[in-house]
Amino acid sequence: GQQLNQSPQSMFIQEGEDVSMNCTSSSIFNTWLWYKQDPGEGPVLLIALYKAGELTSNGRLTAQFGITRKDSFLNISASIPSDVGIYFCAGRSGSGTYKYIFGTGTRLKVLA
Amino acid sequence: DTAVSQTPKYLVTQMGNDKSIKCEQNLGHDTMYWYKQDSKKFLKIMFSYNNKELIINETVPNRFSPKSPDKAHLNLHINSLELGDSAVYFCASSQGDRGLFNQPQHFGDGTRLSIL
């Protein structure tokens, strides 16, 4: 099935550092979502984006809907140990469909 | 109260058996989903129901049969379990009325299925 490419696949960072990750698609999307999954739990919604160019924040997290509508970015500022987890993007193209395509995930590890 | 709840959380069973996973959501959402997450953490949609009607049916073996008795419940029955069925199965829900197709999905905590 179709998947979105996320980059980087995994990263180790020091506590306090800023983190950036992105998600790219070969087709245009009209909605982007960012989720975080902790071990043993389901993905939890972080940010939803509905318009090209939209920039939305949720605490230390900021996500952007790319102008081309083929990509999205997530930034985490001043990372803390509890930011550890897998971050997924999800995109939806077109109208009249309930289906989101999920990214391959970015595994984040924060070193205290 | 848990918004999307799945049971059981863990399921260990023998190859060839039949098993069911249950899902309930108390968010008042119209649309429910089943996803499969493999060992590499890839999330793939399997099925989706909107108001008890099947609207997404990806390429999934017909050993997997979803059932939605009402819009708050979506169960997954699996016949003749195979080794490759081992994965984490997530239920999710969203508000999926017309004009709200882009609403985010809320996930349960998953059912870890292990086939011996």
Give A-chain residues touching B107 at CB under 8 angstroms: 35, 42-44
Question: Looking at residue A95, what is its pLDDT?
Answer: 59
Chain B stretch 3-42, residues whose beta carbon is closer than 8 A to a beta carbon of chain A? 4, 31, 33, 41-42
Distance CA B102, CA A48 (A): 10
pLDDT 10s digits, A91-106: 987 655 667 889 999 9
What is the DSSP code (8-state) at residue B72? T
pLDDT 10s digits, A4-25: 899 999 999 999 999 999 999 9
Distance CA B4, CA A81 (A): 27
Q: Report helix, strand or coil for A17.
A: coil
Question: Looking at residue A100, what is its pLDDT?
Answer: 86
Instruction: Please give the C-alpha separations between residue B110 and each of A76, B10, B23, in angstroms, as whole numbers.
Output: 26, 9, 10
Give A-chain residues touching B99 at CB under 8 angstroms: none
Distance CA B107, CA B91 (A): 6
Residue in the block written with tokens 């500022």: A77
CA atoms in the 13 A half-sphere facing the CB of A5: 7
Residue in the block written with tokens 């109260």: B1
Cβ–Cβ contact A52 with B under 8 A:
no
Residues A60/A36, Cβ–Cβ less than 8 Å: no
The residue ranges of chain B whose pLDDT is under 50 are 98-99
Distance CA B95, CA B50 (A): 9
Cβ–Cβ contact A77 with B under 8 A:
no
- Give the Cα-Cα-Cα angle B3, B6, B10 (nearest 5 degrees): 140
pLDDT 10s digits, A37-59: 999 899 999 999 999 999 999 99
Query: In one letter, which amino acid is B31?
Result: T
Give A-chain residues touching B74 at CB under 8 angstroms: none
Distance CA A97, CA A45 (A): 19
Question: Looking at residue A74, what is its pLDDT?
Answer: 98
Question: Looking at residue B104, what is its pLDDT?
Answer: 85
Question: Looking at residue A97, what is its pLDDT?
Answer: 63
Q: Do B102 and A92 touch (CB under 8 A)?
A: yes
Q: Is the dihedral angle over the CA atoms B38, B41, B44, B48 positive or is it negative?
A: positive
Residue in the block written with tokens 């306090």: A16
Question: Looking at residue B8, what is its pLDDT?
Answer: 97
Cβ–Cβ contact B74 with A under 8 A:
no
Distance CA B24, CA A86 (A): 25
Question: Looking at residue A99, what is its pLDDT?
Answer: 78
